[in-house]
């Protein structure tokens, strides 16, 4: 089971790497000319093209790229002229905490919200939370971000409108991430709430819940202690997908707050035709996401007693 | 039931306004009137004018056409390919693993990055947005079709069709697909709501609609320097997106409840 | 439930607790639009490099001041000998590089030789083609021999591309630059900022700010937020003129309205019919209302031009009335030229505010005279390779930001497709007024406006440049009024 999954993980990554390579190969525009500018000398241009490895047959270039990637050599950025791996690590230092923060916030919204709703299905609280969840679902995160900027940065001037001071100043860095985390986390929280509520209602009707209630636990205790852990299992893969979404999809929210995250790096790279960076960053994303869904697969198999029994 | 009515109402209204904007809108959005920019709401401009003196209401209506076009085109692509792959996968064997592989690869790209990659080779534009959103919808429809089709294959009427000697592909199209239509329609409605949000997001970061195409996402992007003194320019397009997304997802959920025999 | 709540909300409470508004520092923070790709001005053309390092970190033999005049820098003084073919520079004796290496005539020679060497990566090497030899005649005396007299030579030496570099740091200057300027490199947080620190062993007058941080803010909305929130002390080229009235209304900022060297043009590809017909070019020029364009795209900041020449230059001739706004006349000219009914030229727009907004407005204005154009937004690499490199375009909008670049129209393969012997002769003989007129008469492009340089600075700050005769953020003269 583990090895079959691992093989498919590797296959996915290889297939994705080929797609990435092809997409960046057929891109128009000349990186060398972009680096050298309007007045560039043709001889200098050709020398640079050679230097960047822009010449040579595609298969050879693909193999060279992928083997260098495996060694941790992500290439040198066309525009920044520094190793792409440095750029990626720097940007991850923002993107990971942002995604984690948003994840935490969405859980902080979804878990109590779903418990409240599931406790009394069809009640006032249920319809209130589900209406709120619909709203959270419908409002695009970048619009929410703009509304937050308008209210908290422009009007009330409580938070910075954007930018990131770097982790060398931790208090300011966290302060700068508050609005982005809210903008990213709230809509995700709404999605998670709906899923978790449905899953809780499913679980609540099962036998062990009846037993728990019979033991004299209140509905609330039964839900929290018994239903919640079980209800989380089917939601787990979704959380994995959400994390992937938060990591990459944050690109839009990063744009509102001009945060130097991984998403914005790849967006800037694609408009500056820094294809080495585009290739590398997209590849890094693919690996993270694939690895995540692979581990979640393994974890849910291990967590879910029913699945485990089936496999045994 | 409330959902269905609300959702249906919003969706029909949206489609009607989008269609209307193709032939008529209160003002011509291709004419710029710079001295008349940033006006508040008035008799002739219900929602005021934007930075080029264009009528915001007309821009919203034209934006609706763009949003609806992109969303429907993208979902049509994703649905056609996804359903075809799903039907094939339900036949089992290597065909099943084709779908799994395709899904795995597509899901390994976080949403926006499909658009980024396509932009790298095709340049930004509506076509890029349609393709990126469409590709991302293949697994959704593929998975749905596969699991529903597999349970149908166990049913009696399929067995009798087999007994008559129909091949698996004929059965898929003559008997399986018609039984999946309502399920697919429900999913399509929900996916359209997500596609509208996705088009807005792509246009907002500059990978979607390009000028002079009116687009809600682009209106939001342009309003970013203006909302400090004209917040209305950001409020209206954002509200339009939220309403459209809400409409299609309510419609989808409502339809699901209506069609689901279990509830 | 309580334990549960604690678990989920404690991290948030903690975040709230330790997050405080930033403290005020004793440093200067300047917002710039583009992050430089590297920090070595001698190996590429990116203007963003000069905007950080020019005059602050790297110095040349001469420098260009805020009014576009040549001033001594690492060369204290010079003599022009041999009828303009020999320049003898006396170098600053006590200049040292940030790594401690003293600046000498020998290093100056190596810096200049590197520009003119075969296979040089210098983007402006053609400026220095006239150099026949460079000689260090003593430790602080440098002789430069030219093939022919060049009145612009001292100006050319002031370009960022000709700054003095220390031979042992050539390979690392891109990321760890070492110059002779009053500031030395401290750190670069890619995607965020570059920080320079005052260099205490600087040979000249020490600047006021202890530390200067250049913060990259690519979008105008971000720049607005940053200046209003006090994240930056100033922005030399503010990209959202629509917000200036809001900014001025606060009373906390000075708004400077200056000019860059950027002549913004609507390029028409004369190698393609019907743009080869002067009536068509004239018609397009007359269909465009420059006033409405400047108002709509730049909110009134920007000076109309009628030729390819900066209004700041003493030899400037006002030709803005050569093709006045006259839609009726434009229609008539188009009719005379028999422009086909189904003609649908493509207007390619690079990714700048002035081009994208200007393109939308120009398209709307041309529609009024019955000419439909398709807009195509492209990125810089595509613009450079298709428009500039291959001349593959119908129409484009771009600003030519190099100083004194009228000679661009004399180049053999300029992308406008302009080829006029008369114009080349006028340039050759130095008759700049006639050359400007020739371009206007021939309608070599549609000349739109001089790109503005709108600065927004905190009221307490003085000494910043108003105009941008070269693309730089020279912060060496910046001071605080009544600083504590």
Answer yes or no: do C443 and C463 share one domain.
no
Lowest mean pLDDT among A70-79, A85-94, A184-193, C322-331: A70-79
Radius of gyration (C-alpha) of chain A in whole angstroms: 24
Residues C270, C151 share a domain: no
Cβ A282–B113 below 8 Å, yes or no? yes
For residue A174, give the chain C residue with the closest CA. Answer: C19
Q: How far apart are CA A161 and CA C126, in angstroms?
A: 44
Q: Which chains touch B (3 or more CB pairs under 8 A)?
A: A, C
Query: Before C205, cis peptide (omega within 30)?
Result: no
> How far is it, in rounded angstroms, from Cα B31 to Cα C263?
27
Decide if A223 contacts A111 (C-beta within 8 A). Answer: no
Asked whether residue C27 is assigned to any structural domain, the reply reads yes
Number of separate domains in chain B: 1
B246 has a chain A CB within 8 A of its CB: yes
CATH code of the domain in which B205 resides? 1.10.3720.10
pLDDT score recorded for residue C361: 93
- Indicate which of A6, A16, A34, A138 best probes the interface with B, i.e. most B CBs within 10 Å of its own CB: A138
Q: Chain B, 114-133: which have a CB under 8 Å from a chain A CB?
A: 116-121, 123
Q: State residue C335's pLDDT score.
A: 93
Residue A28 has pLDDT above 50, yes or no: yes
Looking at beta carbons, which residues of chain A come within 8 Å of B260? Answer: none
Helix (H) or strand (E) holding C75: strand C75-81
Burial readout A23-42 (b: 16 or more C-beta within 10 A, e: otherwise) = bbeebebbbbbbbbbbbbbe
- Same-domain check for residues C145 and C32: no
**Segments in C313-442 forming alpha helices (H):** 327-336, 353-368, 380-382, 421-428, 432-442
Residue A308 has pLDDT above 90, yes or no: no
Q: Kindly state whether B245 is in contact with chain A, defined as any CB-CB distance less than 8 angstroms.
A: yes
Task: Please name the residues in contact with C294: beta carbons below 8 A apart, sequence gap of 6 or more.
Answer: C300, C301, C302, C304, C449
Sign of the Cα torsion C272, C274, C278, C284 reads negative
For residue A143, the distance in angstroms to the closest alpha carbon of chain B comes to 6
pLDDT for res A9: 87
CB within 8 Å: A267 and B250: no
Q: What is the reported pLDDT for C269?
A: 96
Establish if C8 touches chain A: CB-CB under 8 angstroms.
yes
pLDDT class for A304, splitting at 50, 70, 90? low
C217 found inside a domain: yes
On whether residue B40 sits in a domain, the answer given is no
β-partners of residue C62 are C72
Distance (Å, whole) CA C179 – CA C476: 15
Number of domains within chain C: 3
Domain membership of residue B185 (yes or no) is yes
Q: Domain check: are C447 and C465 in the same one?
A: no
Torsion angles phi and psi, residue C164, rounded to 5: -85, 130
- Beta strand C346-349 with C395-400 is parallel
Q: Say which CATH number the domain at C95 has.
A: 3.90.76.10
Question: On the CB side of C193, how many CA atoms lie within 13 Å of its CA?
Answer: 21
Contact residues, chain A, for B109 at CB < 8 Å? 16, 248, 282, 285-286, 289
The reply to whether residue A285 touches residue B197, judged by beta carbons under 8 angstroms, is no
Q: Is position B25 within any domain?
A: no
SS3 C87: strand
Q: Considering only CB atoms, which chain C residues are within 8 Å of A251?
A: none
Tell me if chain A has a CB within 8 Å of the CB of B104.
yes
- Which of the residue ranges A107-111, A195-199, B9-13, C20-24 has the most confident prediction, judged by mean pLDDT? B9-13
Q: State the smallest CA–CA distance between residue C265 and chain B in angstroms.
A: 20
Phi, psi dihedral angles at A72 (to 5 degrees): 90, 5
* Chains adjacent to A (≥3 CB pairs closer than 8 angstroms): B, C
A chain contacts of residue C46, beta-carbon cutoff 8 Å: 37
Q: Is pLDDT above 80 for A170?
A: yes
A81 in Cβ contact with A277 (< 8 Å): no
- Report how far residue C306's alpha carbon sits from residue C323's, in angstroms, rounded to the nearest whole number: 8
- pLDDT, one tens digit per residue, over A171-190 is 888 988 999 999 999 988 88
- Chain A CB contacts of B256 below 8 Å: none
CATH number at residue C396: 3.10.105.10
Nearest CA to C286 out of C60, C471, C447, C449 is that of C447
C25 interfacial to chain A (CB closer than 8 Å): no
Q: Which two tokens stand for residue C467?
A: 């105009």
Q: Is C4 on the interface with A (CB under 8 A)?
A: yes
Residue B250 located in a structural domain:
yes
Q: Which residue, A24, A49, A23, A25, is CA-closest to A35?
A: A49
Residue-by-residue pLDDT tens, chain B, 263 positions: 788 899 999 999 999 999 999 998 888 888 888 888 888 888 888 898 988 889 999 999 999 999 999 999 999 999 999 999 999 998 888 888 888 888 888 888 877 888 888 887 887 889 999 999 999 999 999 989 998 998 888 888 888 888 888 888 888 888 889 889 988 999 999 999 999 999 999 999 888 888 888 899 999 998 888 877 888 999 999 999 999 999 999 999 899 888 875 54
CB contact under 8 A, A143 and B238: yes
Task: For residue B101, give the chain A residue with the closest CA.
Answer: A12
Distance between CA atoms of residues C435 and C19, nearest Å = 61
DSSP letters for C422-435: HHHHHHHTT-HHHH
Average pLDDT estimate for A97-103: 91
Alpha carbon distance C133, C123 (integer Å): 20
List of residues 6+ apart from B147 with CB closer than 8 A: none
Domain that holds residue B239: 2-20+51-259
Pick from C141, C169, C197: which residue ends a domain? C169
Q: Is residue C6 part of a domain?
A: no
Tell whether C471 and C327 lie within a shared domain: no
Residue C208 within any structural domain of the chain: yes
Q: What's the CA gap between A243 and A100, in Å, rounded?
A: 8
Partners of B216 on chain A (C-beta within 8 Å) are none
- How many Å lie between the alpha carbon of A20 and the closest alpha carbon of chain C? 20
Same domain, C109 and C185: no
Quote the DSSP letter at residue B225.
Answer: T
Which of B137, B164, B30 shows the shortest CA–CA distance to B83? B137
Q: How far is residue A119 from each of residues A29, A115, A193, A227, C441, measured CA to CA in Å?
A: 59, 6, 13, 11, 81
Dihedral (CA of C269, C270, C276, C279) sign: positive
Q: In this structure, are C49 and C96 located in the same domain?
A: no
DSSP per-residue letters across B156-215: HHHHHHHHTT--HHHHIIIIIHHHHHHHHHHHHHHHHHHHHHHHHHHHHTTSS--TTS--
pTM for the complete prediction? 0.81
Residue A24 is predicted with a pLDDT of 82
Token output for C236 = 């030399």
Residue-range definition of the domain harbouring residue C298: 262-451
Give the chain C residue whose CA is nearest to the CA of A88: C190
Residue B177 included in any domain: yes
Residue in the block written with tokens 């999954």 = A5
Task: Look at residues B134, B68, B135, B112 and name the one whose alpha carbon lies nearest to residue B207.
Answer: B112
Query: Nearest 5°: phi and psi at A68?
Result: -65, -40
Choose among A147, A155, A175, A151: nearest CA to A163: A175
| A84 φ/ψ angles, rounded to the nearest 5 degrees | -60, -30
Minimum-distance CB partner of A33 among C11, C224, C389: C389
3-state secondary structure of C44: coil
Residues of A in contact with C118 (CB under 8 A): 43
Low-confidence ranges of chain C (pLDDT < 70): 1-25, 45, 482-484
Q: Do A137 and B241 touch (CB under 8 A)?
A: no
**C184 and C113 together in one domain:** no
- C346 shares its domain with C407: yes
What are residue C291's phi and psi, to 5 degrees? Answer: -60, -50
Residue B55 lies in a domain: yes
Same domain, C128 and C238: no
pLDDT in tens, A253-292: 988 887 888 888 888 888 777 888 888 999 988 898 888 8
Looking at the structure, tell me whether residues C160 and C74 fall in a common domain.
yes
* Minimal CA separation from A151 to chain B, in Å: 10
CB contact under 8 A, C123 and A40: yes
Distance from CA of A187 to the nearest CA of B (A): 12
Structural domain ending residue among the three candidates C169, C194, C223: C169
Residues of A in contact with B1 (CB under 8 A): none
User: DSSP letters along B57-125, please?
Assistant: HHHHHHHHHHHHHHHHHHHHHHHHHHHHHHHHHHT-THHHHHHHHHHHHHHTS-HHHHHHHHHHHH-SS
Sort strands C446-458 and C395-400 into parallel, antiparallel or unpaired.
unpaired
Residues B179-182: contacts with CB under 8 Å, at least 24 apart: B179/B152, B180/B83, B180/B145, B180/B148, B180/B149, B180/B152, B182/B255, B182/B259
SS3 helix, strand, coil % of chain C, rounded to 5? 30, 25, 45
Residues C462 and C439 in one domain: no
Q: Does the beta-carbon distance from A162 to C121 stay under 8 Å?
A: no
pLDDT band at A113 (very low <50, low <70, confident <90, very high): confident
């Amino acid at each position: 089971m583990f090895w079959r999954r691992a093989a498919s993980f590797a296959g996915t990554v290889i297939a994705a790497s080929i797609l990435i390579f092809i997409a960046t190969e057929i891109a128009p525009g000349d990186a060398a000319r972009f680096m050298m500018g309007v007045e560039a000398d043709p001889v200098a241009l050709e020398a640079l093209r050679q230097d960047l490895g822009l010449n040579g047959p595609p298969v050879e270039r693909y193999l060279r790229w992928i083997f260098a990637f495996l060694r941790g050599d992500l290439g040198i950025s066309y525009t920044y002229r520094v190793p792409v791996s440095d750029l990626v690590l720097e940007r991850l230092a923002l993107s990971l905490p942002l995604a984690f923060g948003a994840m935490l916030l969405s859980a902080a919204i979804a878990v109590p919200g779903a418990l409240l709703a599931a406790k009394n299905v069809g009640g006032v609280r249920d319809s209130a939370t589900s209406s709120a969840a619909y709203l959270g679902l419908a409002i695009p995160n970048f619009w929410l971000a703009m509304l937050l900027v308008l209210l908290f940065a422009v009007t009330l001037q409580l938070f910075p409108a954007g930018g990131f001071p770097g982790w060398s100043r931790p208090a300011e860095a966290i302060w700068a991430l508050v609005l982005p985390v809210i903008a990213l986390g709230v809509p995700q929280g709404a999605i998670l709430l709906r899923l978790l509520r449905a899953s809780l209602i499913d679980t609540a009707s099962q036998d062990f819940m009846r037993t728990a209630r019979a033991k004299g636990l209140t509905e609330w205790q039964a839900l929290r202690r018994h239903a919640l852990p079980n209800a989380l299992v089917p939601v787990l893969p979704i959380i994995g997908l959400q994390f992937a979404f938060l990591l990459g999809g944050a690109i839009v929210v990063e744009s509102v707050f001009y945060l130097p995250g991984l998403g914005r790096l790849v967006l800037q790279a694609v408009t500056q035709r820094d294809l080495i960076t585009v290739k590398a960053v997209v590849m890094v994303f693919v690996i993270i996401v694939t690895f995540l869904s692979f581990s979640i697969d393994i974890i849910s198999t291990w967590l879910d007693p029913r699945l485990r029994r089936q496999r045994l | 039931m409330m959902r269905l009515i609300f959702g249906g109402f919003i969706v029909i209204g949206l489609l009607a306004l989008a269609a209307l904007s193709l032939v008529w809108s209160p003002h011509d959005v291709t004419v710029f009137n710079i001295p008349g920019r940033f006006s508040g709401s008035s008799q002739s401009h219900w929602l005021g004018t934007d930075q080029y003196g264009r009528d915001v209401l007309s821009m919203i209506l034209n934006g609706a056409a763009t949003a609806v076009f992109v969303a429907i085109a993208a979902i049509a692509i994703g649905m056609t390919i996804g359903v075809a792959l799903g039907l094939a996968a339900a036949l089992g064997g290597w065909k099943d693993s084709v779908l799994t592989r395709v899904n795995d690869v597509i899901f390994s790209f976080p949403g926006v990055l499909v658009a980024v990659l396509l932009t790298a080779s095709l340049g930004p534009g509506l076509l890029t947005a349609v393709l990126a959103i469409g590709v991302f919808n293949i697994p959704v429809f593929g998975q749905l079709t596969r699991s529903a089709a597999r349970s149908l294959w166990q049913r009696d009427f399929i067995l009798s069709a087999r007994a008559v000697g129909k091949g698996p592909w004929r059965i898929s199209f003559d008997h399986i697909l018609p039984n999946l239509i309502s399920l697919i329609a429900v999913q399509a409605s929900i996916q359209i709501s997500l596609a509208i949000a996705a088009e807005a997001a792509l246009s907002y970061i500059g990978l979607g609609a390009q000028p002079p195409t009116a687009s809600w996402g682009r209106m939001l992007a342009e309003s970013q320097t203006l909302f400090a003194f004209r917040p209305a320019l950001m409020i209206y397009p954002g509200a339009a997106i939220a309403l459209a997304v809400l409409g299609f997802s309510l419609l989808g959920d409502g339809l699901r409840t209506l069609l689901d025999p279990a509830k | 439930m309580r334990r549960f709540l604690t678990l989920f909300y404690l991290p948030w409470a903690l975040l709230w607790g330790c997050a405080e508004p930033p403290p005020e520092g004793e440093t200067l923070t300047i917002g710039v639009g583009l992050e430089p790709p590297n920090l070595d001005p001698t190996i590429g053309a990116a203007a963003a490099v000069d905007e950080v390092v020019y005059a602050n970190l790297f110095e040349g033999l001469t420098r260009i001041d805020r009014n576009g005049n040549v001033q001594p820098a690492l060369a204290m003084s010079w003599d022009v000998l041999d009828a303009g073919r020999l320049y003898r520079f006396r170098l600053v004796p006590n200049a040292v590089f940030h790594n401690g290496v003293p600046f000498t005539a020998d290093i100056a020679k190596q810096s200049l030789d590197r520009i003119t060497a075969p296979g040089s990566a210098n983007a402006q090497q053609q400026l220095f083609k006239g150099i026949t030899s460079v000689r260090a005649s003593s430790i602080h005396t440098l002789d430069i021999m030219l093939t022919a007299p060049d009145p612009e030579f001292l100006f050319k030496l002031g370009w960022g591309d000709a700054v003095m570099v220390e031979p042992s740091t050539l390979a690392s200057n891109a990321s760890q630059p070492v110059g002779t300027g009053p500031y030395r490199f401290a750190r670069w947080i890619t995607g965020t900022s570059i920080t320079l620190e005052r260099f205490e062993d600087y040979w000249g007058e020490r600047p006021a700010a202890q530390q200067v941080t250049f913060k990259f803010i690519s979008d105008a909305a971000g720049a607005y937020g940053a200046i209003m929130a006090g994240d930056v002390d100033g922005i030399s080229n503010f990209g959202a003129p629509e917000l200036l009235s809001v900014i001025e209304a606060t009373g906390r900022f000075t708004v400077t309205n200056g000019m860059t060297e950027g002549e913004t043009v609507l390029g028409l590809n004369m190698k393609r019919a019907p743009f080869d017909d002067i009536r068509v070019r004239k018609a397009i020029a007359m269909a465009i209302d420059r006033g409405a364009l400047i108002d709509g795209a730049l909110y009134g900041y920007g000076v109309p031009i009628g030729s390819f020449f900066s209004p700041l230059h003493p030899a400037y001739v006002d030709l803005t009335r050569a093709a006045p706004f006259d839609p009726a006349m434009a229609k008539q000219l188009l009719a005379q030229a028999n422009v086909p009914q189904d003609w649908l030229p493509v207007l390619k727009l690079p990714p700048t505010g002035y081009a994208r907004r200007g393109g939308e407005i120009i398209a709307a204005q041309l529609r009024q005279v019955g000419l439909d154009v398709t807009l195509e937004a492209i990125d810089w690499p595509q613009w450079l390779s298709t428009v500039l490199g291959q001349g593959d375009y119908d129409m484009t909008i771009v600003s030519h930001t190099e100083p004194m670049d009228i000679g661009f129209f004399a180049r053999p393969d300029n992308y406008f497709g302009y080829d006029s012997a008369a114009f080349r002769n006028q340039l050759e003989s130095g008759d700049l007024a006639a050359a400007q007129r020739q371009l206007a008469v021939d309608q070599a492009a549609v000349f739109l406006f001089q790109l503005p340089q709108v600065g927004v600075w905190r009221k307490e700050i003085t000494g910043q440049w108003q105009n941008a005769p070269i693309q730089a953020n020279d912060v060496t003269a910046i001071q605080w009024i009544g600083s504590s």
